[in-house]
Amino acid sequence: MGASGRVGGAAAQSLADNGAAVRVGLRTPEKWTGPGAAVHFDLADAATYSALSGCAALFLMWPPGTTTAQVGALIEAARSQGVRRVVFLSILGAEKVPVLPHRQMEKLLMASGGEWTFLRASYFMQNLSTTHRDDIRLRDEIFLPAGQGRTSMVDVLDVGEVAALALQGGHAERAYDLTGPAAPNYFEVAQVLSDGLGRSVRYTDPSPLAFVRLGLKRGVPPSFVLFMLAEYTVARLGRAGRVTRTVEELLGRPANDLRAFVQRELVAWR
């Protein structure tokens, strides 16, 4: 699942690079140009679950807007078609927030009787080059209501490589907390971007109300504005800065740091 997105795409590429046979499930498989064999799959359409037949492992994500019942049906279908293990992309701290959809998915997998591995990933560095790209590219600012709070960040490529490792077995009943090597605040993130781009990028540190107002004014869907507000409020309260060495321990190399990521993605902000 999710190969047309960031973590799923990185996992598929890493698997292919390691010589694994990859099947990519997409709503529009004819558009796929990446590794593996693309087949029609849609979580909202149980008739497409036959795409799982013959697969040893499933990379599972929670698409926003999907119901718990739909994901539960997919997990049951995977088990009935012989899928031995499921690697689920969760979020850091999911085990502490029982109302999160990610935690509900984790509980379904723990009760399924099959092998499971949870990848509890921290804030993606790639959010800076996708969701917040235009603020940086067009306005030279990071406009997030995170205050001076620190946020542990992780490179999607590292998460995808860990996913590929877990999909190939040997990591059953493990929950991995995945972060990069540091937890900067957004003043520090702005400095790293400024250094890389050779121009001044500032962190404007808006109030939560100012963030919501401007997001709505720019046409951002209200549900997404509120989602981001909740996400960055966690950082504002000082609860998003935990750093682990799990990526390094699993991959046998240091996790990618923010400066390396910025250098690799410079074209996004130019």
CATH number for the domain that contains residue 53 = 3.40.50.720
Tell me whether residue 159 is in a domain.
Answer: no
Task: Determine what percent of the chain is predicted with pLDDT higher than 70.
Answer: 100
Across the strands, what pairs with 124? 154
The residue among 104, 121, 138 that closes a domain is 121
Q: Assess whether 93 and 186 both reside in one domain.
A: no
Mean pLDDT of the chain: 95
- Per-residue pLDDT at 9: 95
146 lies in which domain range?
122-154+180-242+256-270
Contacts of 191 (CB under 8 A, 6+ apart): none
**Shared domain check, 113 and 10:** yes
How far apart (Å, rounded) are the C-alpha atoms in residues 207 and 34?
41
Lowest mean pLDDT among 107-116, 180-189, 225-234, 246-255: 225-234
- Helix boundaries (H) for 111-240: 133-139, 156-167, 186-197, 208-217, 222-236
In a domain, 168, yes or no: no
- State the total domains in the chain: 2
pTM: 0.94
Phi, psi of 209 (to 5 degrees): -65, -45
Tell me: pLDDT of 90 over 90.
yes
Indicate if 23 and 146 belong to the same structural domain.
Answer: no
Q: Note the helical H segments in 58-125.
A: 68-80, 101-110
DSSP code of 101? H
CA 60 to CA 2: how far, in whole Å? 8
Collapsed DSSP state (helix, strand, coil) of residue 133: helix
Spatial separation of the C-alpha atoms in residues 122 and 91, rounded to whole Å: 6
Convert the pLDDT of each residue in 136-158 to its tens digit: 999 999 999 999 999 999 999 99
Extended beta strands in 92-136, E state: 115-121, 123-124
Average pLDDT of span 193-212: 96
Q: Is residue 174 part of a domain?
A: no
Give a yes or no: residue 169 inside a domain: no
Whether 133 and 113 share a structural domain: no
Does 173 reside within a domain?
Answer: no
Spatial distance between the Cα atoms of 180 and 123, rounded to a whole number of angstroms: 9
Distance CA 231, CA 89 (A): 17
What value does the mean pLDDT take over residues 179-197?
98
Residue 64 has pLDDT above 80, yes or no: no
